């Protein structure tokens, strides 16, 4: 039995990930955005006879640095973890640029800065998974305008960029820690509030690969530094494989947060 920490576990793929891990008999610490969502998570698992309950539910708003730092402390108190799944994310449907309370573009803050903060403030687990999207292929690393202050706003491009940045973060962590297994997963186009009603794939399929990655002894699941979809290794955006570009992104994240990637 493993202990796994899952962010964004209140709904969608994150909730399904927790469910599948629990059904396999693993302990799960679930992250919720709010106290209300945390109570919903607890209630959802309490009614299942084969689920004794969660190992814990922690609360934190990933759109603020202070709350994310507090979340790391809560999660660490319930660790250590055999695996961490960075699942939480914000979609790109907005037609207007928004800023977080810290003055950062909101998608970049939620999807990139927050998992970076958690990675810096939590012990690196033996298995680490960062969710991306097939749209990472269209992502670009625009170092002089990560916050979309100069360019005309494009919500879907901002989302695509953030998903590339997630791959870059995962690959950089893998390069720095050859003794652990770090991978990134494209869950597919899944029927969730983020994926929308036209998405072709069912919810269970959206969680299956990352659950497999943190629990399986398959050679692929034990290999680090991969971009994976449906248990198969994919070719990532070439920018993610460029050490200099990864270093530039990490340097900027360090400057924004004051935290050094381990």
| Sign for the pseudo-dihedral over CA of 190, 113, 121, 102 | negative
Marked catalytic residue, from 163, 191, 227, 229: 163
Q: How far apart are CA 221 and CA 10, in angstroms?
A: 25
In Å, what is the CA distance from 147 to each residue of 112, 162, 203, 209? 12, 11, 31, 31
How far is residue 186 from each of residues 4, 20, 210, 245, measured CA to CA in Å? 19, 17, 9, 21
Active-site choice (81, 116, 130, 159): 159
For every residue of 115-144, which 3-state class applies, written as one string?
HHHHHHHCCCCCEEEEECCHHHHHCCCCHH
Determine whether 159 is an active site residue. yes
Q: Which two tokens stand for residue 16?
A: 């399904």
163: annotated active-site residue: yes
- What is the set of active-site residues? 159, 163
């Amino acid at each position: 039995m493993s202990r796994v920490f899952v962010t964004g576990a209140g709904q969608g793929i994150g909730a399904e990930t927790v469910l599948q891990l629990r059904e396999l008999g693993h302990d799960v610490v679930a992250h919720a955005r709010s106290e209300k969502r945390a109570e919903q998570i607890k209630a959802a698992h309490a009614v299942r006879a084969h689920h004794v309950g969660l190992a814990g539910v922690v609360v934190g708003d990933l759109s603020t640095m202070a709350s994310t730092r507090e979340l790391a402390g809560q999660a660490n108190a319930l660790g250590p973890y055999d695996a961490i799944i960075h699942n939480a994310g914000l979609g790109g449907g907005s037609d207007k640029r928004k800023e977080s309370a810290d003055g950062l573009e909101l998608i970049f803050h939620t999807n990139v800065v927050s998992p970076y903060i958690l990675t810096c403030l939590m012990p690196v687990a033996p298995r680490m998974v960062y969710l991306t999207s097939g749209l990472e292929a269209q992502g670009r690393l625009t170092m002089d305008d990560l916050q979309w202050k100069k360019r005309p706003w494009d919500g879907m491009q901002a989302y695509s960029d953030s998903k590339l940045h997630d791959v870059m973060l995962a690959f950089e962590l893998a390069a720095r820690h050859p003794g652990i297994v770090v991978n990134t997963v494209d869950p597919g186009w899944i029927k969730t509030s983020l994926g929308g009603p036209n998405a072709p794939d069912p919810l269970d399929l959206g969680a299956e690969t990352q659950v497999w990655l943190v629990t399986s002894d398959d050679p692929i699941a034990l290999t680090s530094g991969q971009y994976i979809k449906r248990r198969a290794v994919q070719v990532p955006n070439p920018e993610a494989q460029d050490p200099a570009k990864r270093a530039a992104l990490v340097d900027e994240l360090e400057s924004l947060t004051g935290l050094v990637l381990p």
